[in-house]
Structure 1
Amino acid sequence: MTVIKILPHPEYCPNGTQITASPGTSVCEALLENGIEIEHACELSCACTTCHVVVREGFSSLGEMDESEEDLLDRAWGLEPQSRLSCQAILSQTDVTIEIPKYTINHAKENH
């Protein structure tokens, strides 16, 4: 099992936490399966940027980024060199540390 360390986020994970997931699972699937309700407006189809995360450790261990993901990331709030769409970031056997950005560009989200 791969360990995902999630840094504190005021809405989704106030104290930070660690979860485990099987290699081959996307970061987004792992978060959702463990009760961390990260936004995913396009239902994991790589059509938005609401599941954007910054990979603080283990970035190079994730599956290759394709052109569609690269193009979408250009529109993500708080883009950094280690940014990934969590629905496209596939875990290997290497542990990762992620940070969920404070904002997304999801204008349809309730309670904004």
Structure 2
Amino acid sequence: MPQIIFLPHAELCPDGAVLEGEKGTSVLDLALKNNIGIEHACEKVCACTTCHVLIREGLDSLGEADDLEEDMLDKAWGLEPESRLGCQAIIQDEDLVVEIPKYTVNQVSEGH
């Protein structure tokens, strides 16, 4: 299984994390399963930007973002070429290094 490395985030993952990611699992689901509380206001249906992550290594191993994800990402805080929505970034066969942005745009907080 590929290793998914979450870089340290002051609030959500202060020490960072090295996790085993099963192919076909989203980066968001892996994070949540391991108590890394990335926001996900739309319940993982690609309708917001709260699960925005930066794929620092391994981006090419992910499937390309579709038009809906690209449209959502245009609204994300701190958009970069390595930006993906965690709910849409599906783990494949390669290791990933993931950075959780310092801020998120959450117009409706649902207590996640």
- What is the TM-score of this pair, normalised by structure 1? 0.94
* Structure 1 counterpart of 2:75: 75
Question: Moved runs in structure 1, 4+ residues, more than 6 A?
Answer: none
Of all paired residues, the percent bearing the same amino acid is 59
Residue deviations 1:13-38, cap 9 Å, x none? 01111111211111001111111111
Residue deviations 1:3-61, cap 9 Å, x none? 11001101110111111121111100111111111100001000000000000000000
Aligned length: 111
Cα displacement (A) at 1:107: 3.3
* Structure 2 counterpart of 1:56: 56
* Structure 2 counterpart of 1:41: 41
Cα displacement (A) at 1:109: 3.3
Structure 2 unmatched runs, 5+: none
Residue 91 (1) aligns with residue 97 (2):
no
Structure 1 unmatched runs, 5+: none
Paired amino acid for 2:84: R
* Structure 2 counterpart of 1:2: 2
For 1:53, what is the secondary structure of its paired residue? strand
* Structure 2 counterpart of 1:31: 31
In 2, Cα distance between the equivalents of 1:68 and 1:11?
A: 29
Q: CA RMSD in A?
A: 1.4
